[in-house]
Structure 1
Amino acid sequence: MTSDDLVPRILAAIEAVEALVEQVAEEVGAEWSDGGELGNSVWTKDGSGYVAAGPYDYMSRELRQHIAHHDPASVLRRCEVDRRTVERHSTITDAVFSTSPGKPGVWLPKCFYCNRRAPCDDLRDMADRYGITEEEHDEDIVPAILSAGQFSNGQGTVELDADGRLFLLVCRECDVDEPIPFSSAEERGKWAAGHRDATGHDSWWSHDHTSKETT
Structure 2
Amino acid sequence: MKKILVISLMILSTLSVAEIHFWFDSSLGFSLYSELYTPENKPISAMTDYGMQIGFDYGLQRGLRMGVSFAYLNMSIKTDLGSVDSSLLCVGIAPSFAFDFLDVVCKLSGGVQYVLVGPTGSLAGFGISGTSNFQGWIYTGKLDFLWQLSEQFSVGMGINVRFHDLSILTRDLSLRSLSVPISLKINYRF
Q: Select the structure that is richer in strand.
A: 2
Bigger relative contact order (CA 8 A; separation at least 6): 2
Q: Select the structure that is richer in helix.
A: 1
Radius of gyration: which is bigger?
1
Fold shared by both chains (TM-score > 0.5): no
TM-score (norm 1): 0.30
